[in-house]
Amino acid sequence: MSLLEIEGLEVTFGQGEGRVAAVRGASFSLARGETHCIVGESGCGKSVTSLAIMGLLARGATRQAKRMEFDGRDISRLTEREMSRLRGHRIAMIFQEPMTSLNPAYTIGSQMAEVRTRHLGGTKQAALDRAAELLGRVGITAPGMRLGQFPHQLSGGLRQRVMIAMALMNDPELLIADEPTTALDVTIQAQILRLLAQLQAELGLGLLLITHDLGVVARVAHRVSVMYAGEVVENAATADLFAAPRHPYTRGLLECLPIPGKVAPGAPLGSIPGMVPKLTPGFTGCGFRSRCSLARAECAAPVALRGAPHLYRCVVDA
Amino acid sequence: MRRSGIWIGGAILTLVVLAGVFAPWIAPHDPYAQDLTRRLAVPFWMEGALPEHLLGTDQLGRDYLSRLIFGARVSLIIGAMVVVVSGAIGITLGVLGGFFGGRVDDVVLFLITCRLSIPVVLVALAVVGLLGSSTTLVVAVLGLLLWDRFAVVARATTMQVRNLDYVAAAWAAGSSTPRILISEVLPNIMTHLAVVGTLEMALAILLEAALSFLGLGVPPPLPSWGLMIAEGRDFMFFSAWVIWIPGIALFTLVLAINLLGDGLRDLFGAAPS
Amino acid sequence: MASFLLRRLILAACVALTVLTLAFTLTRLSGDLAISIAGPSATDADIAIIRTAYGLDRPLPEQFLAWVGRAAVGDFGESFFFKARVSSLIAERMPITLSLGLTGLGIALLVSIPLGILAAVREGSWVDRLVQLFAMIGQAMPSFWLGLIMMIFFGLQLGWLPVSGTGSWEHYVMPGTVLAFSAIPALTRLTRSGMIQALASDYIRTARAKGLSRFSILFKHALRNAALPVVSIASVQLGFMLGGSIVIETVFALHGVGFLAWESITKNDFPVVQAVVLVLAVIYVVLTLLADLFNAVLDPRLRG
């Protein structure tokens, strides 16, 4: 049984005429101890998908899903109070902006400890001990001293390590990481990514990693979902996807990548012409058809995912 | 709600302005004419009201409605004049500080800090008390004391405008500093200053009423609303309407100006602070 | 931190000196003080005596320096009207004004912080609009008039509260409430906007992702950050309230510093007037300094 099972997730923002669909029927599943990447360009709905799973959508957003199960339990109908018992406890999340994601008014220790005492109870001291242990585990030196420090005293890379440690306070089964390295320096990015991969393997975490970077996908993902215009257009084991991409958009994306050995130095990289369509309420069918060289009439009708286990959402046979 | 704020506020303000401008033609009686046989006549909604005195009369038998209408003049003139004086001071200081920065800005900030530490009502009362009450003096004193918000907003908005591309372009094109200030900076910060203007006008009207209420504002027998409340004070426990009427007029006018200002602020976007 | 404090102290001293000069100039506006002190029935000889007695015959700069020198050690001279030391007059009346100011601030905070939080949590709803309307009404309310209306209603018609004087705590309820109205609009708006900003921040999203309770999210994580500007504005507002209490003290016949100032103004008692202006200005400066200090305690980023 998979840890997380999402089917037909839809998220819309706004109401009436101004309504915009951010996610239109995203489906994927994530097994225990698996790293699953959702990859796509900005605005494709990948971050919204992760927030929708957590129940953290902004006010004014509506969420619907055919199926949304965590550990066999339907989480689409949980109340805010029930959901808050799962969040930070069995499902944890880290964000893109380490500089602003920690509360400036409280120490690292206090912010880490409260998530433990909130869900598992116990003394504050026990929670602080656990926090110190985890800070060490995510590669922070002198964890005892860090506990007493405030966020502004830490660099961006350190803060993201703190966020990761804080997410692990209650041994979650699922960790959602929304572009955790995007806001960091390139060298730090690699360190954080390595740390995440290492922790995932050691702790047997289910890791749902949201990224726009196919390089990241190639390095850490077991399975990958490619999102475009609010839909999952392809879902496959990482190696299969890179070896034989089936959706025209995925192929376009891979052609944009400079892969040493495959692309000769100086050779022009690919690019995808056109723009992402505006997803107003009436929009149906493949979101990529206006940019696709293979587009035909039936692309305007809803396209189903097919070809298990290497799923793709295209009317053209791969 | 915001848009309706502009409309409601604007409509009330327009009405009061019209009443003030056309006071001699609208007012049913001479606001200064006393009739000691008809003192404290009650307004129309109470039993025994006199038909020729719609809002009754005051303790000297003067027609209350006429005094109220002429009182609008006092409030509006003082409010507007104070905005002109304080606006001139505050905008000049703020624009200079915001545009030149450095030492100039330090001086401006210092002046603003000094101004804020001065207790406005007390100093205004003291000056009027020492020099004798007159409308000009009230305008001068309040104008000299209420420029701080103009300066703060003008300074902040000027700093923003200064860094815009077209101002830099004007510099590069060799325009002189006063020219840039007047033709590039001022027009661009005007909307924010208009909002401050409404708020300061409301404040000035309230302060004038308070000064007049304490007997150190405009001199009697001028029909200032604050003065009317002060004069009605001795009778308020038996004839409460003598303070209700001018008080509600004052409150409504100030609320209308604030509604207008608030609506304008939402329309133009908040000023940086 | 130390250099920040030092800079603030120097600034405060400069401000105090400027206000000192202003307070001095203020009382010399009316021309010959000796004539106003001596009163209408005085002869030329009387005026000459008064002029020498008060040092008014000496050049202005000399008078100024002498006054500053004495004011610096808390000696503001003697009141013409009360025939008492100005410093002891002010010291005697200050407790009443401080009680009034603190009552006003207390009521203002008790009203505006919950209202601001409520409006922020329900941003855009009718509750929010109602709170904003309330703030706007408070801003347009003439304080002296509100005082009179409350007197009629609570004092006369309901008979719940004493109409004037300072005998008991009940005497401070009405004036305190009226005074609070001058600070409620600003404090409510500030709490509201601070909370809205805090609630939209990334660290609140983190707090929600941690599954914290709604109470902890609102009152521990959001309010702590929204409170920073409220604290500094609250102390500034207290300064404004002490300055503005002159109107309310007069309305309610509370014999505090404001009432003293008003009496002195009507009696041309200039040593008292300039001393009260100075004292209130210095209190304001001290309050803003305290606000900075308090902010530094609350905001770890300022501790450096």
* Closest-CA residue of chain C to B232: C148
- How would residue C131 be classed by pLDDT, with cut points 50, 70 and 90? very high
* Closest-CA residue of chain C to A149: C300
Q: Rounded to an integer, what distance in angstroms lies between the CA atom of residue B201 and that of residue A124? A: 55
pTM: predicted TM-score of the whole model, two decimal places? 0.85
Residue C7 lies in a domain: no
- Please report residues of C whose CB lies closer than 8 A to that of A101: 202-203, 205-206
Reply yes or no on whether the pLDDT at C302 is more than 80: no
Can you give the pLDDT of all 273 residues of chain B as single tens digits?
457 888 999 999 999 999 999 988 988 888 888 888 877 778 888 887 778 888 888 888 788 888 999 999 999 999 999 999 999 999 999 999 998 888 999 999 999 988 888 888 888 988 888 888 889 999 999 999 999 999 999 999 888 888 777 777 777 777 788 888 888 888 888 888 999 999 999 999 999 999 999 988 888 888 889 999 998 888 888 888 888 999 999 999 999 999 998 888 888 776 554
How many CA atoms within 13 Å lie on the side-chain side of C122? 13
Cβ neighbours of A43 (radius 10 Å): 14
Q: Rounded to an integer, what distance in angstroms lies between the CA atom of residue A277 and that of residue C204? A: 32
Q: Tens of pLDDT along B13-66?
A: 999 999 999 988 988 888 888 888 877 778 888 887 778 888 888 888 788 888
Q: Rounded to an integer, what distance in angstroms lies between the CA atom of residue C250 and that of residue C164? A: 10
Q: What is the mean pLDDT of chain B?
A: 87
CA distance A151 to chain C (A): 9
Out of A80, A100, A115, closest to residue C210 by CB:
A115
pLDDT of residue B272: 52
Out of B122, B247, B262, closest to residue C149 by CB:
B247
Reply yes or no on whether the pLDDT at C40 is more than 70: no
* Structure ipTM over 0.85, yes or no: yes
- How would residue C48 be classed by pLDDT, with cut points 50, 70 and 90? confident
The matching CATH number, chosen from 3.90.1660.10, 3.40.50.300, 1.10.3210.10, 1.10.1040.10, for A4-90+174-312 is 3.40.50.300
pLDDT of residue C39: 67
CB within 8 Å: B247 and C145:
yes
- Please report residues of C whose CB lies closer than 8 A to that of B209: 142, 144-145
**Cβ proximity of C86 and C264 under 8 Å:** no
- Please report residues of B whose CB lies closer than 8 A to that of C275: none
Residue in C24, C32, C23, C83 with CA at minimum distance from that of residue C56: C32
Reply yes or no on whether the pLDDT at A74 is more than 60: yes
Q: What is the mean pLDDT of chain C?
A: 85
CA distance A222 to chain C (A): 25
- Please report residues of C whose CB lies closer than 8 A to that of B243: 145, 148-149, 152
Instruction: Choose the most confident range, by mean pLDDT, from A224-228, A264-268, A288-292, C291-295.
Output: A224-228
Q: Is C14 on the interface with B (CB under 8 A)?
A: yes
- Please report residues of A whose CB lies closer than 8 A to that of C207: 103
Which is higher by pLDDT, B176 or C120?
C120
CA distance C142 to chain B (A): 6
Residue C50 lies in a domain: no
Q: Rounded to an integer, what distance in angstroms lies between the CA atom of residue A179 and that of residue A210? A: 5
Q: Rounded to an integer, what distance in angstroms lies between the CA atom of residue A194 and that of residue B224? A: 77
Q: Tens of pLDDT along C196-227?
A: 999 999 999 999 999 999 999 999 999 988 88
- How would residue A124 be classed by pLDDT, with cut points 50, 70 and 90? very high
Q: Tens of pLDDT along C80-117?
A: 778 888 888 999 999 999 999 999 999 999 999 999 99
What is the DSSP code (8-state) at residue B271?
Answer: P
Across the A:C interface, residue pairs with CB atoms under 8 Å apart total: 76
pLDDT of residue B27: 82
Reply yes or no on whether the pLDDT at A126 is more than 90: yes
Range of the domain at C192: 86-303
Helix (H) or strand (E) holding C31: none
- Please report residues of A whose CB lies closer than 8 A to that of C213: 84, 118
Percent of chain B's residues with pLDDT above 70: 98
Reply yes or no on whether the pLDDT at A81 is more than 60: yes
Reply yes or no on whether the pLDDT at A250 is more than 60: yes
Percent of chain B's residues with pLDDT above 90: 42
Touching C (3+ Cβ pairs <8 A), the chains are: A, B
Which is higher by pLDDT, A73 or B166?
A73
CB within 8 Å: B214 and C276:
no
B and C touch per CB criterion (3+ pairs under 8 A):
yes
Structure tokens at C260: 């003293």
Instruction: For residue A52, give every residue at least 6 positions away whose Cβ sits within 8 Å of its Cβ, in sequence order, or none.
Output: A9, A11, A23, A61, A63, A65
Q: What is the mean pLDDT of chain A?
A: 88
Between positions 22 and 41 of C, the ones with CB within 8 A of B are: 22, 26-27, 29-30
Reply yes or no on whether the pLDDT at A148 is more than 90: yes
CB within 8 Å: B122 and C246:
yes
Domain edges within chain A: 4-90+174-312, 101-169
Reduce the DSSP state of residue A29 to 3 states and report it: strand
CA distance C118 to chain A (A): 16
Residue C18 lies in a domain: no
Alpha helices in A12-89 (DSSP H): 46-54, 80-86
Reply yes or no on whether the pLDDT at C176 is more than 60: yes
CB within 8 Å: A95 and C224:
no
Structure tokens at A47: 């971050």
Mutation site for C-interface testing, chosen from B6, B122, B141 by largest number of C Cβ within 10 Å: B122
Q: Tens of pLDDT along B74-86?
A: 999 999 999 999 9
Q: Count, in order, helices (H) and strands (E) of chain C.
A: 14, 0
CA distance B251 to chain C (A): 6
Q: How many structural domains is chain C composed of? A: 1
pLDDT of residue B59: 82
Residue C78 lies in a domain: no
Reply yes or no on whether the pLDDT at A281 is more than 80: no
List the Cα angle A138/A139/A145 in 5-degree steps.
100
Residue C47 lies in a domain: no
Out of C206, C209, C211, closest to residue A85 by CB:
C211
Percent of chain C's residues with pLDDT above 70: 95
Can you give the CATH number for the domain in which C159 is found? 1.10.3720.10
CB within 8 Å: C144 and B206:
no
pLDDT of residue C171: 82
